[in-house]
Structures are given as structure tokens and as C-alpha cells.
Amino acid sequence: MAIFKVYIDNNLIEVLNYKIHSSKIPKEFNGFKILQISDLHSKSFGKENIDLINKVEAVEPNIIVITGDMVNNDFDYSSFISIVNKLTVKYKIYYVIGNHEQNVIARNPDEFNNMLKEIKEKNVSIINNKNISISMGKQSINLYGMYTDLKYYRDFRNKASRSINFSVKDMEELIGKCDKNAYNLLLTHNPVFFSTYSKWGADLTLTGHVHGGMVKLPLLGGIFSPEYTLFPKYYEGIYKEYDNFMNVNRGLGRGNFGIRLFNRPELSVITLYSTRKYEV
């Protein structure tokens, strides 16, 4: 029975649906579906990822966003490429890299750039530290993609690393000032600095990285953090600060961890609605 539970929690994808309401969302975006994929870590769900692809197609999203760590440190891009090959036929995909991609870049930049070239040719938009506009009718929202230096992925085993902070000024140096007159969607991998993202002006931030804490306990939540601390503040689902929201996707793979438990692989579906007040 325990083996069956571990199999489910590591291999059967759960689709989680969230609704975000804001007066800043144009009416043309009512019902706009964003499907978020994160932290695949080179894992496959069925042959050529057919199980994952079927889950996505059942949602029929307006766009797909990918928030990093699609590959592991093993240079195996085949699982990621299988997703791109199938899904770009129907959907526009926006992608920002995570810390594992940065590790691969440091070790083998030529091979990684070849992978980026391949997915670009499939019409994937790579929005690393840049922004684009997404339009519906005559209205639009801003989509920002941001990745940070690896030093901002703190390691609490290292005393010097514990005090590292990421400020609004740091963020502006990477992606510029926020256009606060528009609705702003931010894709970034690390949820730790949600307060900074919110103060900068991100109305909705989509992140991953924490894998749901890998193992979840009732009432206590996710246990493990990539920062090498226990019970991370942000580990799954929707969080709110001021009038701004953040979704932490639990991810699909395991990375360098052992197993997932009470924490199934996740696809997030975030649907936008225009209202007079902020709510979720």
C-alpha cells in the first residue's frame, strides 16, 4: 500500500485551478486561462510525455508559461523537447529559466544554447529579464520574465548566504521599472522574494522551485526547502501581499531530492477575471 502511495505521489499529475480577480485586468481578459508548468527536471510522464500533454490539452489554455528547471544537471533535454514539439502546435509558450538551467549553462554553455535555439525554432518565447505585451482585442497585459544570479538562491548551511537579500532596486536593474498602470504578470523561478516582487509592482507572480516541500504533513505543510531549511514560508498554492498574488507551483519532477509524498506533481491553471476589487 505504501509503495502504491509513493507511486501516485510521484507519477500522477494533479491539475489545480485558481481564479484571480482584479480591477486592473481588462474585461477582454475575462476567463483568460494561463497554464503553468514548472520543475520538470527531465522527468517523463508516459512515452514522449503523452500523459502530461493530454492533461494540458484537456485544459485548453490561452497560453502556457514555464517557470524554470525543466532540465536536470544531466544535460538530458529530451523530455522538455517532447513537450515543446507537441504543445507549440496549438499553444503559445513563454519560458524563463531556473537555477538548474543556470547550472547547466555554467558547465556546458554551447550545448544549452543549442537547446534554446531548438525551442526558439518551435516558437517558444524565452523571456529572460525582458517583458512583452499580450493582447486580447484592443487591450493588453504585461508579461515579465526574470531570472537572478545564483547567489540569490540562498543556502542556509552557509552563514554568509543567509543574509542575502533581493531588493526592488536589484529587480529594476534586471528588468526595469514596472508599468503600474497596466496589469503585470511576472514569471520567475524562486518564490522567496515575493515581498520584493509585490513592491516592484507584479500583480501576479508565478514561481516554482520549492517542489511543494517534497513531503507534506497535515496542518504543517511542506517540510523541505531548497534553501536547506525546514517548513518554507512559500511552498505551494496562492499567496497574497497587499493587492498582489503569487502562485507557487509544486512542480512535476524531483530534482536532487528523493521522493514526493502527499505532494503530487502539479499543473497550475490560473484564470483571470476583471472585477472592481482584488480577490482570489
Strand partners, 135: 140
* pLDDT the model gives residue 72: 87
What is the pLDDT of the chain when averaged over all its residues?
94
Counting Cα atoms < 13 Å in the Cβ hemisphere of 158 gives 11
Query: What separation in angstroms does the CA of 250 have from each of 116, 120, 127, 189?
Result: 24, 26, 21, 12
| Digit-coded pLDDT (tens) for 191-236 | 999 999 999 999 999 999 999 999 999 889 999 999 999 999 999 9
Task: Copy the grid coordinates of residue 84.
Answer: 515543446
Alpha-carbon Rg for the chain in angstroms: 18
| Digit-coded pLDDT (tens) for 59-118 | 999 999 999 999 987 778 999 999 999 999 999 999 999 999 999 998 889 988 999 999
Classify residue 103: in a domain, yes or no.
yes
pLDDT band at 275 (very low <50, low <70, confident <90, very high): confident
| Digit-coded pLDDT (tens) for 227-247 | 999 999 999 999 999 899 999
Mean pLDDT over 130-152 rounds to 96
* pLDDT the model gives residue 255: 75
| Backbone φ and ψ of 265, nearest 5° | -55, 145
Asked whether 127 and 94 are in contact (CB, 8 A), the reply is yes
* pLDDT the model gives residue 2: 75
What CATH number is attached to the domain comprising 54? 3.60.21
- Domain enclosing residue 189, as ranges: 2-274
The count of domains in the chain is 1
**Beta pairing, strands 266-274 & 204-207:** unpaired
Classify residue 279: in a domain, yes or no.
no
Classify residue 139: in a domain, yes or no.
yes
Residue with C-alpha cell 509592482?
Answer: 201
* pLDDT the model gives residue 247: 98
> Model-level pTM?
0.96
DSSP 233: S
Task: Copy the grid coordinates of residue 82.
Answer: 517532447
Classify residue 76: in a domain, yes or no.
yes
